[in-house]
């Protein structure tokens, strides 16, 4: 079924989602521990090639650039988490997770706008959608 690393990743994303919803920020220390954990995991298991790992980190780097350009329209914590996920999953799996996350984000945003529950300037937290995208990716593998 699922590996221990997948359950740890899902639990970490769920915890960070709660923090993102309630506080609208994510602890840098927790992200640093996640990055260290991913590096140790990749060093010990070598589950993906260095090219796939580099591609995943590169996508996270693009999100960091987008965070800078948009003055944190996408938060730095979200971008760092995407970079860490890219180092854990690799480029193709990360793109699947991001696709699911952004489709769900679009659906929730469109529904909120159509029902007039939020305005165009309302900012939704990204971590819950990353978590849902990751969960969808895990369920798609079953």
pLDDT for the residue 114? 92
pLDDT for the residue 117? 84
Instruction: Say if CB 142 and CB 1 are below 8 A apart.
Output: yes
pLDDT confidence tier of residue 68, bands split at 50, 70 and 90:
very high
The pLDDT of 21-46, averaged and rounded, is: 92
Cβ atoms < 10 Å from Cβ of 105? 18
The pLDDT of 43-63, averaged and rounded, is: 92
Cα separation, 82 vs 75, whole angstroms: 11
The pLDDT of 7-31, averaged and rounded, is: 94
The rounded percent of the chain whose pLDDT value lies above 90 is 82
**Burial call 52-91: b when 16+ CB within 10 Å, e when fewer:** bbbbbbebbeebbeebeeeeeebbbbbbbbbbbbbbbbbb
pLDDT in tens, 71-127: 988 999 999 999 999 999 999 999 999 999 999 999 999 999 999 888 888 889 999
Cα separation, 107 vs 97, whole angstroms: 16
pLDDT for the residue 22? 94
Cα separation, 122 vs 106, whole angstroms: 13
Looking only at Cα atoms, what is the longest distance across the chain? 50
User: Who contacts 64 (Cβ-Cβ below 8 Å, separation ≥6)?
Assistant: 76, 79, 80, 83
pLDDT for the residue 134? 97
Nearest Cα neighbor of 9 from 94, 134, 104, 141 is 134
């Amino acid at each position: 079924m699922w590996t221990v690393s997948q359950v740890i990743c899902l639990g970490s994303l769920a915890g960070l989602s709660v923090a993102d919803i309630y506080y609208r920020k994510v602890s840098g220390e927790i992200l640093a521990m996640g990055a260290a954990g991913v590096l140790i995991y990749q060093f010990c298991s070598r589950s993906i090639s260095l090219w796939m790992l580099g591609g995943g980190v590169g996508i996270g780097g693009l999100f960091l650039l987008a965070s800078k350009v948009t003055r944190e329209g996408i938060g730095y914590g979200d971008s760092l988490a995407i970079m860490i996920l890219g180092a854990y999953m690799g480029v193709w799996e990360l793109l699947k997770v991001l696709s699911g996350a952004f489709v769900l984000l679009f659906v929730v945003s469109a529904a909120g706008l159509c029902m007039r529950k939020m305005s165009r300037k309302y900012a939704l937290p990204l971590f819950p959608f990353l978590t849902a995208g990751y969960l969808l990716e895990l369920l798609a593998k079953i």
